[in-house]
């Protein structure tokens, strides 16, 4: 089942205008949108999205994983893009209602789920550069198969020295469509060079690690877990946050800090780079096996998944599918 | 006549797919687009636009101003956003044909024109993060009145220290919708503080001047004209380029260089800051009367339009409307 190509029978819509605020929440059959060519979203990229999943548990129930974190981030993104915020309880209700309506679309197969895509677009039919005065909030649903049908394979990462994804003061901490437009070229370059993902460096000094592809990134150096701090250019991932909580509960030292690329290279040379992995909603955990920095390849943990990555993957997916006790209170039954 | 709200009777469309390339160029009545909610442009901001104008000359002809520059920039933006390029002669023909079709929409009033908005959107109905495999190239037309119905009034500019528009290595030199999404917050902040536009500083050192609002910026210091060099974060404006050519033809020394904010402040204190102005397709020339840097206000040329700004405005609009001989070969009769 290819992610993102098939959609469920219904979708959620809610409109915004300056008089009524957010209004007219409704669930209708999945259908095309009719928009004027002058609609702002086509011209100035005033748009944002979120991504989360609904999981089928063994006893047939449907669970969400920390949806309030996605809603909080959606509103943070809205503020950065001059889009009006949505009441978090309204947003959560919308997610629950659309998933309930299309609950038959939540797959029963192991490791499958129903991807939930809330998004907001600017809808003024006006091509002056300013924040739109009208918006459309939508939620669409796409069933998704196992991310690792053949088991977890560590990925090959290319360190990008030319293109920059985001810079402090910009919109890199937001889930703005604009960030993804800006990331396509670097990602494309990595793919053409035979790498799975791009490793983004900071836009100011070009020596600190920001993200990997569309994921946050973690390194285990001499038993200590390090991940780039949220300093304004990095997306605050829900899986990132969950990993930090779980690792700390296991007694690991976790440092949210600036992580210099050179520190990773040095740790590798000294045999102290135990593991590296990306985190995100799609893959949950994506181990990094190879890192190419300007032609020099670093092999991490013999290009095999490490014990911490494996245990995090099993724990988070275990909680998501209701197979492991949710000690953190992260799941919500629909 | 409010810019960007009214559109002409027709629009130009052309599709791209991986088998046929760009194909099926057509002019149809202006109408809404039908797009699936999963269409990529709504999610990842893979979109670009251009802006130019058609001018009515005294003898009733219709002129374009350097359209090949817009087409060249559109293809540069396409490359940065992984969008397939369009043959420049096809793009020029499309612009000419749609303007011819709706030639009655080119206003006859002085200082009015027909704004031409070419744009490209990613149209795959797919929410995986990758370049789209299908696109839609469109051109819509909007009649626009005089930018200065009450004469040219110098604007008040706010120096933005918190938000960043673009950084070297990013997409700031592209006419990507994403750049405009990223710029809304700073612009909004300036407006709320009582300023017309925001002055953007570079994203790395935060001390060099990039742009003003959605315009390029020029300073006249002690008779020498300075404008920020095109180093990767600045849009290469057609009006900017035209100003440089004209100024040089008049014998001015024009320096495309890094312009430190401090240099402007110092020049103002020493009485050597003669003029400052923005340049862009919409306003042509927009004189800067006031610059607020962290609470300190600099008044430039007594907040009046300066002689160079005035002469540039008169010259460029004169060429555009066919009232001044086009020595540069910049106009193209449709």
Query: pLDDT of A238-261, one tens digit each?
Result: 999 999 999 999 999 999 999 999
CB B76 within 8 A of CB B174: yes
Q: Is residue A249 part of a domain?
A: yes
By CA distance, what is A130's nearest residue in B?
A: B184
How far is B241 from A174, CA to CA, in rounded Å? 34
A20-29, A146-155, A265-274, B97-106: range with lowest mean pLDDT: A146-155
Q: Are residues A175 and A126 in the same domain?
A: no
By CA distance, what is B163's nearest residue in A?
A: A169
Burial class (CB in 10 A: 0-12, 13-18, 19+), B189: middle
Cβ contact, residue pair B35, A36, below 8 Å: no
CB A201 within 8 A of CB A161: yes
Q: Kindly give, in sequence order, each residue whose CB lies less than 8 Å from that of residue B207, ignoring residues fewer than 6 positions away.
A: B201, B260, B261, B262
Chain B interface test: which of A28, A35, A37 (most B C-beta within 10 Å):
A37
Q: Are residues A53 and A134 in the same domain?
A: yes
A287 min Cα distance to partner chain B (Å) = 19
Higher pLDDT, B303 or A150: B303
Q: Is residue A331 part of a domain?
A: no
Q: Which residues of B are less than 8 Å from A11 in CB distance?
A: 37
Q: Which residues of B are less than 8 Å from A128 in CB distance?
A: 3-4
By CA distance, what is B160's nearest residue in A?
A: A169
Residue B1: is its pLDDT beyond 70? no
Cβ contact, residue pair B140, A37, below 8 Å: yes
pLDDT tier, B293 (very low <50, low <70, confident <90, very high otherwise): very high
Q: Which residues of A are less than 8 Å from B185 in CB distance?
A: 80-82
The pLDDT assigned to B209 comes to 98
Q: Is residue A128 part of a domain?
A: yes
The pLDDT assigned to A84 comes to 98
Q: What is the pLDDT of residues B119-178, one digit of tens each?
A: 999 999 999 999 999 999 999 999 999 888 878 889 999 999 999 999 999 999 999 999
Q: Are residues A250 and A121 in the same domain?
A: no
Output the CA–CA distances (angstroms, integers) from residue B239 to A187, B173, B215, in the order listed: 33, 15, 9
Identify the domain containing residue A98 by its residue range: 10-144
Q: Are residues A159 and A36 in the same domain?
A: no
Q: Are residues B136 and B174 in the same domain?
A: no
A233 min Cα distance to partner chain B (Å) = 11
Q: Which residues of B are less than 8 Å from A168 in CB distance?
A: 164, 203
The pLDDT assigned to A150 comes to 78
DSSP 8-class letter at B289: E
Q: Look at residues B85, B111, B144 and tell me which one is the last residue of a structural domain.
A: B144
By CA distance, what is A178's nearest residue in B?
A: B178
Q: Is residue A124 part of a domain?
A: yes
By CA distance, what is A139's nearest residue in B?
A: B37
Q: What is the DSSP string of B203-246?
A: TTTS-BEEEETTBEEEEEETTEEEEE--SSSS---HHHHHHHHH
Percent of chain B with pLDDT over 90: 96
Cβ contact, residue pair B41, A43, below 8 Å: no
How far is B308 from B287, CA to CA, in rounded Å? 10
Instruction: Give the count of domains, chain A.
Output: 2
3-class DSSP assignment, residue A325: coil
Q: Are residues A132 and A161 in the same domain?
A: no
Q: Are residues A215 and A290 in the same domain?
A: yes
Residue B2: is its pLDDT beyond 90? no
3-class DSSP assignment, residue B179: helix
How far is B64 from B91, CA to CA, in rounded Å? 13
Q: Look at residues B117, B144, B171 and tell me which one is the last residue of a structural domain.
A: B144
Cβ contact, residue pair B203, A43, below 8 Å: no
How far is B177 from A45, CA to CA, in rounded Å? 5
Give me B100's structure tokens.
């011819």
Cβ contact, residue pair B182, A170, below 8 Å: yes
Q: What is the pLDDT of residues A100-119, one digit of tens each?
A: 999 999 999 999 999 999 99
Q: What is the pLDDT of residues B266-285, one digit of tens each?
A: 999 999 999 999 999 999 99
Q: Are residues A206 and A275 in the same domain?
A: yes
Q: Are residues B21 and B114 in the same domain?
A: yes
How far is B292 from B305, CA to CA, in rounded Å? 18
CB A61 within 8 A of CB A102: no
The pLDDT assigned to A41 comes to 98
H or E element, residue B15: strand B10-17
Q: What is the CATH number of the domain that holds B193?
A: 3.20.10.10
Torsion angle of alpha carbons A129, A131, A136, A141, nearest 10°? 90
Q: Is residue B25 part of a domain?
A: yes
The pLDDT assigned to A1 comes to 60
Give me the phi and psi of B242, to 5 degrees please.
-65, -40
The pLDDT assigned to B147 comes to 83
Q: Which residues of B243-253 are buried (b: 16+ CB within 10 A; e: fewer)?
A: bbebbeeeeee
How far is A203 from A264, CA to CA, in rounded Å? 18
Q: Are residues A44 and A107 in the same domain?
A: yes
By CA distance, what is B80's nearest residue in A?
A: A185
Query: In this complex, how many residue pairs, one in chain A and one in chain B, have their CB atoms less than 8 Å apart?
Result: 207
CB B197 within 8 A of CB B212: yes
A244 min Cα distance to partner chain B (Å) = 25
Which among A316, A261, A262, A311 has a CA at the least distance from the CA of A284? A316
Q: Are residues B183 and B254 in the same domain?
A: yes
The pLDDT assigned to A146 comes to 85
How far is B186 from B173, CA to CA, in rounded Å? 18
Residue A148: is its pLDDT beyond 80? yes
A224 min Cα distance to partner chain B (Å) = 31
The arithmetic mean of pLDDT across residues A17-40, rounded, is 98
Output the CA–CA distances (angstroms, integers) from residue B202 to A55, A284, B170, in the order listed: 45, 36, 12
A163 min Cα distance to partner chain B (Å) = 4
The arithmetic mean of pLDDT across residues A308-329, rounded, is 97
B132 min Cα distance to partner chain A (Å) = 10
Q: Kindly give, in sequence order, each residue whose CB lies less than 8 Å from that of residue A329, ignoring residues fewer than 6 positions away.
A: none
Cβ contact, residue pair A45, B169, below 8 Å: no
DSSP 8-class letter at B147: S
Higher pLDDT, A2 or A183: A183
Q: Is residue B330 part of a domain?
A: no
Cβ contact, residue pair A164, B170, below 8 Å: yes
How far is A307 from B182, CA to CA, in rounded Å? 40
Percent of chain B with pLDDT over 70: 100
Q: Look at residues B112, B144, B176 and tell me which one is the last residue of a structural domain.
A: B144
CB-based contacts of A148-153 (< 8 A; 24+ apart in sequence) = A148/A111, A148/A283, A152/A285, A152/A286, A152/A287, A152/A305, A152/A309, A152/A310, A152/A313, A153/A289
CB-based contacts of A5-8 (< 8 A; 24+ apart in sequence) = A5/A142, A5/B125, A5/B126, A6/A142, A6/A143, A7/A140, A7/A141, A7/A142, A7/B36, A7/B37, A7/B38, A8/A102, A8/A105, A8/A114, A8/A140, A8/A141, A8/A142, A8/A143
Q: Is residue A4 part of a domain?
A: no
CB-based contacts of A71-78 (< 8 A; 24+ apart in sequence) = A71/A95, A73/A175, A73/A236, A73/A238, A74/A48, A74/A50, A74/A118, A74/A120, A74/A175, A76/A173, A76/A174, A77/A48, A77/A174, A77/A175, A77/A176, A78/A48, A78/A120
Cβ contact, residue pair B42, A162, below 8 Å: no
How far is B107 from B113, CA to CA, in rounded Å? 6
Which among B228, B163, B205 has a CA at the least distance from the CA of A204? B205
Q: What is the CATH number of the domain that holds A26?
A: 3.30.470.10
DSSP β-bridge partners for residue B224:
B221
CA angle A265, A266, A270 (to 5 degrees): 120
A142-156, A197-211, B129-143, B218-232: range with lowest mean pLDDT: A142-156
Q: Is residue B73 part of a domain?
A: yes
Q: Are residues A188 and A72 in the same domain?
A: no
């Amino acid at each position: 089942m290819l992610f993102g190509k098939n959609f469920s029978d219904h979708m959620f819509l809610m409109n915004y205008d300056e008089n009524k605020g957010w209004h007219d929440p409704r669930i209708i059959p999945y259908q095309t949108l009719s928009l004027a060519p002058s609609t702002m979203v086509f011209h100035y990229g005033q748009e944002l999205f979120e991504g989360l999943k609904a999981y089928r548990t063994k006893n047939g129930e449907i669970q969400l994983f920390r949806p309030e974190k996605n809603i909080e981030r959606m509103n943070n993104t809205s503020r950065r893009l001059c889009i009006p915020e949505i009441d978090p309880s309204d947003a959560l209700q919308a997610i629950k209602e659309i998933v309930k309506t299309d609950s038959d679309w939540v797959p029963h197969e192991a490791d499958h789920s129903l991807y939930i895509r809330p998004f907001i677009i600017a809808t003024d039919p006006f091509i002056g550069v300013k924040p739109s005065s009208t918006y459309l909030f939508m939620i669409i649903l796409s069933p998704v198969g196992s991310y690792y049908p053949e088991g977890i394979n560590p990925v090959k990462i290319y360190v990008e020295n030319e293109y920059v994804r985001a810079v402090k003061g910009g919109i890199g901490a937001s889930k703005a469509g604009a960030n993804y437009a800006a990331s396509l070229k670097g990602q494309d370059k990595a793919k053409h060079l035979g790498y799975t993902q791009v490793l983004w460096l900071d836009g100011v000094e070009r020596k600190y690690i920001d993200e990997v592809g569309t994921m946050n990134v973690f390194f285990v150096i001499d038993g200590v877990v390090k991940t780039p701090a949220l300093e304004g250019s990095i997306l605050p991932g829900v899986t990132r946050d969950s990993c930090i909580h779980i690792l700390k509960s296991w007694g690991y030292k976790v440092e949210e800090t600036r992580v210099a690329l050179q520190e990773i290279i040095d740790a590798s040379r000294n045999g102290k780079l135990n593991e590296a992995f990306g985190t995100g909603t799609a893959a949950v955990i994506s181990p990094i096996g190879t890192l190419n920095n300007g032609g020099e390849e670093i092999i991490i943990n013999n290009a095999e998944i490490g014990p911490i990555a494996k245990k995090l993957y099993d724990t988070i997916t275990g909680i998501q599918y209701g197979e492991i006790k949710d000690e953190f209170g992260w799941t919500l039954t629909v």
